[in-house]
Structure 1
Amino acid sequence: MLIRVPDYYEAFHCLAGACPHTCCEKWEVVIDPETARRYGTVPGPLGKRLRAAMGPDEDGDLCFRLDGGRCPFLDRENLCEIHRALGEAATSVTCREHPRFTEDYGPFRETSLCASCPAACDLLLGSDAPLTFLTRETAEPAEPGDPWLRGLLPLRERLLRELADRSRPLEKRLETFLLLATEAQVLLDADQAEELPALAAHWKQPETAVPPGPGLFPYTLEVLAGLEVLDGDWRDLLRSGADAQPADVPEALLERLATYFAFRHLLKAVNDGDLLGRAQFCVLMVLTARRLAAVCGLKEAIRRLCCELEHSEENLEALRQAFLQDAALSPAAFLRQLRG
């Protein structure tokens, strides 16, 4: 099987027992059955604490119950007591895999590092070179993929090339990205995914008139504030961003951010056909990060956005529905924002 990862993936060595960041602080850690059985045999005081801390969450998953908003096994230095005492293999699958997101498409698998992790975000923003992706092969057998993959793969490659075209301002590239995704969505809606490779190869950007009206901000921040909130001060940050002008952020870093989101999200359209909604999400995250960077800095803006949105399927789905139903978040509103 082919495995695809971002070019900085191999440089990532964030382990819960040695990392001082607070990624794990506010999450209920889901404990897989094998790890739960292992905790049942751990002797001594640590074993008693492990077993006492486990309990079902509201969805019925076995978790460590938070203690004052923190995992009960984070020490004062934000290091994992389980990892330090019993080794990485003794932590749950959730902890071992964080901040990795893996998508299995059958003939290949893609793994990305969520920028909600400060160490991963540092790597993402640690270079101004175009973000690329590495492919390696494993002995694991591949499986057949969805037929839509044959069209979506070359289309995504074209979209990534448009983002990387540094001969043009970033806003122009993001506009091209959205317009191509819009035309591709027409084919998907008509069940003509087999036409996507030709569209990717031959598409030329048309002249597009946009009706007058407002752009995305500050309304978008109100929409984000209405979603499920993980961190209590998230809405305060969004309110501060409503009055802020976009920060002066190097385009190369915003390009890398856009590429990160496009790699992570676009191919998921294979599951439901919603390519345009995911393209809008990618652009929205870049524009929102630039706006919030004026309040808290770019890295913190990206970390908070990814934490609140990429870790919540409910929030992602709510945004995609808003793109479909709310005229203030339509493709036209995106284009007005980019041209404004």
Structure 2
Amino acid sequence: MKLRVPDYYKEFRCIDKDCTDTCCAGWEVDVDEEAYAYYETVGGEFGKRLASVMSREGGCHFILKPDKDCPFLNATGLCDLYTELGEDKLCETCAMYPRFVEEYGNIREMGIALSCKTAANLILTYEGKAGFETMEDGKPLTSYNDIEPEFYFALMQSRRVAYAIVQNRAYDIRERIAVLMHYAEKLQKSINVHRYSYIHEINAMYTVPGDDIYADVRTEKFDEVIAKLRRKYTDWSGAKKKSMPNACGYYKHTGSLLAIFDSMEMVKGEFHEFIAADRDSFGRMHDAVDASLTDVKNYISSVRRFWASYPECNMQYEHVMVYYIFRYFLKAVYDYDLLGKVKLAVTGYLMVVEMDVVRFIKKITQCSLQTRLR
């Protein structure tokens, strides 16, 4: 098979007990059937310990401690299961994380997850534009995917266009994301009617032919889309009353997203603290109740001050978007919902920005890379 990985992938190294975080706490550890079957055969005292924390209820997994630590996480931050049985006896989840794998035909794609602090630091501080390497891994084809070849290759080309759009540093990252959404909406319309030849035409509208036909975007297309969006949504400066419905609608949507996240079980309590701080600052905006022109002006003024104070965020947010596009874009080959994948990426970006803006306004802590990694 062919293996495709981000440029930074080969630089990742787990720092084990030196990590200020742990990937062995806060979430349920799913155990694959092969590993589960082996663990059931382990004898002795460790076998008894294994049996006491193994469960098939709701899928094979280890039962966490009351503090949500993995039952094999010891006081030194290391894994007793690893020590007792060896690395080759770890379940798939523990052996792979933070690496993730997706297979499309004869292509295996591997990356590292942003949920790991060490991986996130590597991704966000990567110098230059993130790229990808493709090589033969010498391994046989493990499975056959039920995918449409024509659609798959069209998506592959489109993903390269998406990379080019979000990495076009001649424009602010917010403008790039607006263009990406516009592009994804056009693609989805073609996907809905199964006219994949239209996808190639759309790609040609956004890109300049070259050695890598989808490497460079058309400046005139960027300018056209951005101008169109500005006319549609008006200026959000708050200078005119008519800008308020758009602004309030946006923040009400953000409030809905926060409510969804707040209802979930969190790995760390800090996220609940962020949501509380966000509501304290922008509750009326998110609820779209009693939001005044002054509320709109104050919020947008704060956002502008944040962006002016932290211009380096443009590159870090760009890396976040490239990560999401790499990980999720091609999954549309299975459900034909490309726009949903792009919206997922944009939602992730919006939540990171919202957290940064709240930190900035509330002066909870300095808005630095290290606080972002938390």
Query: What TM-score range do you get, normalising by the shorter chain?
Result: 0.7 to 0.9
Asked if the contact 1:188–1:273 (Cα under 8 Å) also holds between the matched residues in 2, the reply is: yes
Q: Which of the pair has the greater relative contact order for Cα pairs under 8 Å at 6+ separation?
A: 1
Report the CA distance between 1:71 and its aligned residue.
0.9
* AA of the residue aligned to 2:123: L
Are 2:160 and 1:150 aligned? no
Paired with 1:97 and 1:48, the residues of 2 have a C-alpha distance of 25
Instruction: Look up the match of 2:278.
Output: 241
- Counterpart mapping for 1:60-75 below 5 A: 61-68=59-66, 69-75=68-74
CA contact (8 A) 2:121 2:373 kept: no
Deviation at 1:15, TM superposition (A): 7.0
The aligned counterpart of 2:292 is none
**In the alignment, structure 1 residue 38 sits paired with structure 2 residue 60:** no
Distance change >3 Å, CA 29–CA 249, structure 1 → 2:
farther
Q: TM-score, normalised by structure 1?
A: 0.80
Q: 1:191 to 1:303 in 2, by over 3 A?
A: farther
Contact 1:3–1:109 (CA under 8 A) maintained in structure 2: yes
Describe the shift of the 1:98–1:112 C-alpha distance in structure 2 as closer, same or farther (beyond 3 A): same
1:230 aligns with 2:265: yes
TM-score by length of 2: 0.73
- Matched residue type, 2:199: L
Per-residue deviation, residues 215-262 of structure 1 (Å, max 9, x unmatched) = 533642432332451216333322323427555351111111111111
In the alignment, which of 164, 167, 171 is matched to residue 168 of structure 1? 171
CA distance in 2, matches of 1:282, 1:33: 31
In structure 2, the CA distance between the partners of 1:19 and 1:34, relative to structure 1 (3 Å rule), is farther
Match of 2:323 in 1: 260
Aligned residue number for residue 47 of structure 2: 47
State the secondary structure of the residue aligned to 2:101: strand
Deviation of 1:149 (Å): 0.8
Q: Is 1:269 aligned with 2:332?
A: yes
After superposition, the C-alpha distances for 1:115-140 in whole angstroms (9 at most, x for unaligned) are 00111111112224111111111233
Structure 1 alignment gaps of length 5 or more: 305-340
Task: Give the counterpart letter for 1:229 in structure 2.
Answer: M
Question: Which segment is superposed worse, 262-271 or 18-27?
Answer: 18-27
Cα 1:99–1:179 change in 2 (3 A) is same
Residues 170-185 of structure 1 mapped to structure 2, 5 A cutoff: 170-185=173-188
Q: Which residue of 1 aligns with 2:9?
A: 9
Between the aligned partners of 2:274 and 2:232, the Cα distance in structure 1 is 31
Q: In 2, Cα distance between the equivalents of 1:74 and 1:290?
A: 33
CA distance in 2, matches of 1:26, 1:150: 38
**2:112 is the alignment partner of 1:113:** yes
Answer 1 or 2: which has greater helix percent. Answer: 2
SS of the aligned residue for 1:210 comes to: helix
Cα distance, 1:45–1:293 mapped onto 2, change above 3 Å: farther
Query: In 2, are the aligned partners of 1:128 and 1:253 still within 8 Å (CA)?
Result: no
Between the aligned partners of 1:195 and 1:70, the Cα distance in structure 2 is 50
Equivalent of 1:281, from 340, 344, 349? 344
CA drift at 1:302:
6.1
Report the alpha carbon displacement of residue 301 of structure 1 after superposing the two structures with TM.
Answer: 7.3
User: 1:2 touches 1:136 (CA, 8 Å); kept in 2?
Assistant: yes
Distance apart, 1:298 and its partner CA: 6.0
Distance 1:280 1:40, change over 3 A: closer
The code of the aligned residue for 2:232 comes to: V
Letter aligned with residue 351 of structure 2: T
Matched to 1:146, the amino acid is: E
Indicate the RMSD between aligned Cα atoms, in angstroms: 2.6
Contact 1:156 1:266 in 2 (8 A): yes
Tell me which structure has the larger Cα radius of gyration: 2
User: 1:115 is aligned with what amino acid?
Assistant: L
The whole-number CA distance in structure 1 between the counterparts of 2:183 and 2:252 is 26
Identity of aligned residues (%): 28
Q: Size of the alignment, in residue pairs?
A: 302
1:282-301 matched pairs, under 5 angstroms: 282-294=345-357, 295=359, 297=367
Alpha-carbon distance between aligned partners in 1 of 2:189 and 2:254, rounded to the nearest angstrom? 25
CA 92–15 in structure 1, closer or farther in 2 if over 3 Å, else same:
farther
Bigger drift between 135-144 and 114-123 goes to: 135-144
SS in 1 for 2:100: strand
